[in-house]
Structure 1
Amino acid sequence: MKAVDKLIQRQKLTKEEFIEILKQQDDPDIRELLKEEAIRLRKHYYGTKVFTRGLIEFTNHCKNDCYYCGIRRSNKNAKRFRLSQEDILACCENGYELGFRTFVLQGGEDVWYTDAKLVEIIRRIKTLYPECAVTLSVGEKSYESYKAYKEAGADRYLLRHETADEQHYGVLHPAEMSLANRKQCLYDLKKLGYQVGAGFMVGSPGQSVETLAEDLLFLQELQPQMVGIGPFIPHHDTCFAEKSAGSVEKTLFLLSVIRILLPTVLLPATTALGTMDPQGREKGLLAGANVVMPNLSPLKTRKQYDLYDNKICTGEEAAECRECLDKRIESVGYQLVNERGDAVL
């Protein structure tokens, strides 16, 4: 119980103490205690607001070959696409009319989108919608690239670290990728003044209590403003196709732990959670999450941005999705708001 008490008192924890907490995840009393504290903190800092992020998946070309990912470069079955600047701006226009005040440009590491092209897209969005936040999720780049995007007007950057354990990183990624570089990118982004998001899959192949403790240690050290976690879901065209999916219950437990560890964090109830459980996003909000990310991408390309199997909302118009989410979120005592939704400092 000592480690749980330290977490709730927001004292710095060791790896061994995080392991102690993780080993108690099946104890219903501990789960409830952490969930209640997570909700208390979430309401203290953000009330009952749920922030929306308009997700624009603009390319599924990727130079990387991450073993878990459906758009990895060696997947010859992936139907590749790229959105034009006009396509992206049309998504923003649609999203703005629906009340979105953050746009998330997410894509594979696609070298076709040079820094110059991305800078131009960011500038156009910020010129048309100056009160909106632009979040990028385009992978590992140089310090100079990140600086150029920031100067063009980008506000936030999402870069899941996936695992903070060196050996586990090697299980999930090919040898040409390195955990050290991924971490350096996150520190570069922080240095440049971005609101930074890290995160990991829950239940990925090779994950253990020890590797999860490393993830929590890293989050404690990095102090990101955003953390994205969701259950691992296998994709049929990867070498992990036959692996078991991650647990919804473990994801919910970790959402509560992360909310307590980082009380002001922006914490999404992810699409992966909703894919694994019809009530997954609602359960995520009731475990401490305060962000949802509906899809603004064109319907014709949504099914092609296929990171994992059975992804939800690939056939819904953005307006339908927004209306549906409104009702679902109200059903658990929260409300969607038309705000940028910056992290409380």
Structure 2
Amino acid sequence: MDKALQDIIDNKAWTEDNLVKLLELRGKDQKDLLKMGGDCLLQTRGSEVYYRGLVEFSNICTKDCYYCGIRKSNRETDRYDLPDDAILEAAAFAHENKYGSLVLQSGERDDEGFVNRIDELLKKIKRQTNGELGITLSLGEQTPETYKRWFESGAHRYLLRIETSDKELYTQLHPSDDKHSFTKRLECLKAIQNAGFQTGTGVMIGLPGQSLKHLARDLQFLMDFDVDMVGMGPYIEHEETPLYDQRSSLWPLGERFLTALNMVATLRLMMPDINMAATTAMQAIDPMGREKAMKAGANVIMPNITPSNLRRNYLLYQNKPCTDEGAEDCSNCLSVRLEMIGRTPGFNKWGDSLHYFQRVNNPKK
């Protein structure tokens, strides 16, 4: 790698301009960057990749985000809501197959019935698995009281994507009302931290109007906010969304993918002890996308264990992979894929973020 670029990494000189230089790397210098990200992960966390069995249990959503395929205004998707028994069955599958952890994800609701239902499900999953199955929630913006209640009922990780840390760009992705407020999103992330959760967030790469400077500031935001987990990947448009009209102005898919790899490797170098997911959006562009993300520094993967007949209705973006595979197919496929790149499944482990323990035991002043 060019000496000036190596100096940026060695000196941890994470200025906006320096981060842009890393994000725009291609060719040999990019390969060097990706290898450094992967080596940093191996030195910090080893070769284990942690499984999170993903249950997308409902695509009913009260939000109307301009980029999302399950936005409430999309009349072209069949809405569904899994019964509790099916969710508990998926949790049992994750436990029996040694996943270690479960992710409950859905469209966004904050009504009393939904909040109570999640609370009861958490308690049932904990009882059913003898407290052995870790639980991550990805259920959007809630009140501080709800976050605290769900934490006390057994969830210990929460993922809420910031989408972009740039307020102006954020407002272009959402309707201009109180339900889609950038300020509220930040307040919710802080409330998640305050409730005690291992806190995860993430950004989309290649949004309309987004620049490498935006992405550099996203990386700085993730570090400054002291996040424990990150899931980020390329933005992929959905034809039943308002942003689809801007598709002609987007970066080519290949550029979005390569930049996403650089984001993963760079963030791993900036925050060596966090957990980082290899997202399915990477695989939607490149058949080996998740593997390439893991080799660049990601250490979490989320096999989809939603009943396969419903997966095609949880399409946040077009061409989402693995919508027609059964849970066992997905599990077997991942084990083979990990072996191909020299990684091992972290079976029966929660695989918690080391950064979380550092953060809570040594809080910033």
**TM-score band, normalised by shorter chain:** over 0.9
**Please, what TM-score do these two structures have when normalized by structure 2?**
0.89
Which of 214, 218, 228 is residue 211 of structure 1 equivalent to? Answer: 214
Taking the aligned partners of 1:5 and 1:62, their CA distance within structure 2 comes to 46
Q: Which residue pairs with 1:222 in the alignment?
A: 225
Alignment of 1:18-37 (within 5 A): 18-22=19-23, 24-26=24-26, 28-37=27-36
Q: Decide whether the 8 Å contact of 2:22 with 2:262 is kept in 1.
A: no
State the 1:219 CA deviation: 0.5
Q: State percent identity of aligned pairs.
A: 37
State the 1:36 CA deviation: 2.5
Q: Decide whether the 8 Å contact of 1:55 with 1:103 is kept in 2.
A: yes
Q: Decide whether the 8 Å contact of 1:171 with 1:206 is kept in 2.
A: no
Matched position secondary structure for 1:296: coil
AA aligned opposite 1:14: T
AA aligned opposite 1:341: G
Which of 301, 326, 335 is residue 326 of structure 1 equivalent to? Answer: 335
Q: Which residue pairs with 1:68 in the alignment?
A: 67
Residues 306-345 of structure 1: CA distance to partner in whole angstroms, max 9, x if unpaired?
1111111111111111111111110111111212111124
State the 1:209 CA deviation: 1.6
Taking the aligned partners of 2:146 and 2:65, their CA distance within structure 1 comes to 22
Q: Any gaps of 5 or more consecutive residues in structure 1?
A: none
AA aligned opposite 1:96: H
AA aligned opposite 1:271: T
- Asked if 1:200 is matched to 2:210, the reply is no
Residues 133-163 of structure 1: CA distance to partner in whole angstroms, max 9, x if unpaired?
1100000111111011011111100011000
Residues 5-46 of structure 1: CA distance to partner in whole angstroms, max 9, x if unpaired?
3444435x3334333433x423x3432332232122201122
Q: Decide whether the 8 Å contact of 1:270 with 1:281 is kept in 2.
A: yes
Change beyond 3 A, Cα 1:251–1:30: same
Q: Which residue pairs with 1:101 in the alignment?
A: 100
Q: Decide whether the 8 Å contact of 1:136 with 1:154 is kept in 2.
A: yes
Change beyond 3 A, Cα 1:9–1:319: farther
Taking the aligned partners of 1:267 and 1:306, their CA distance within structure 2 comes to 22
Change beyond 3 A, Cα 1:3–1:172: farther
Alignment of 1:237-316 (within 5 A): 237-242=240-245, 243=247, 244=250, 246=253, 247-316=256-325
Q: Decide whether the 8 Å contact of 1:4 with 1:21 is kept in 2.
A: no
Taking the aligned partners of 1:167 and 1:106, their CA distance within structure 2 comes to 27
Change beyond 3 A, Cα 1:268–1:8: farther
State the 1:212 CA deviation: 1.0
Q: Decide whether the 8 Å contact of 1:59 with 1:110 is kept in 2.
A: no
Q: Which residue pairs with 1:5 in the alignment?
A: 7
Question: What is the aligned length?
Answer: 342
Which of 352, 356, 360 is residue 342 of structure 1 equivalent to? Answer: 352
Change beyond 3 A, Cα 1:82–1:50: same
Matched position secondary structure for 2:281: helix
Taking the aligned partners of 1:102 and 1:281, their CA distance within structure 2 comes to 19
State the 1:98 CA deviation: 1.6
Q: Which residue pairs with 1:119 in the alignment?
A: 119
Residues 163-200 of structure 1: CA distance to partner in whole angstroms, max 9, x if unpaired?
00011001111112122211111111112211111101
Matched position secondary structure for 1:217: helix
Matched position secondary structure for 1:114: helix
- Asked if 1:173 is matched to 2:183, the reply is no
Matched position secondary structure for 1:79: coil
- Asked if 1:144 is matched to 2:145, the reply is yes
State the 1:3 CA deviation: 6.7
Poorly superposed stretches of 4+, deviation over 2 Å = 1-11, 13-22, 110-114
Q: Any gaps of 5 or more consecutive residues in structure 2?
A: 358-365
Q: Decide whether the 8 Å contact of 1:52 with 1:293 is kept in 2.
A: yes
- Asked if 1:187 is matched to 2:197, the reply is no
Q: Decide whether the 8 Å contact of 1:8 with 1:37 is kept in 2.
A: no
Q: Decide whether the 8 Å contact of 2:35 with 2:295 is kept in 1.
A: no
Taking the aligned partners of 2:9 and 2:157, their CA distance within structure 1 comes to 27
Q: Decide whether the 8 Å contact of 1:269 with 1:285 is kept in 2.
A: yes
Matched position secondary structure for 1:86: helix
Taking the aligned partners of 2:138 and 2:335, their CA distance within structure 1 comes to 25
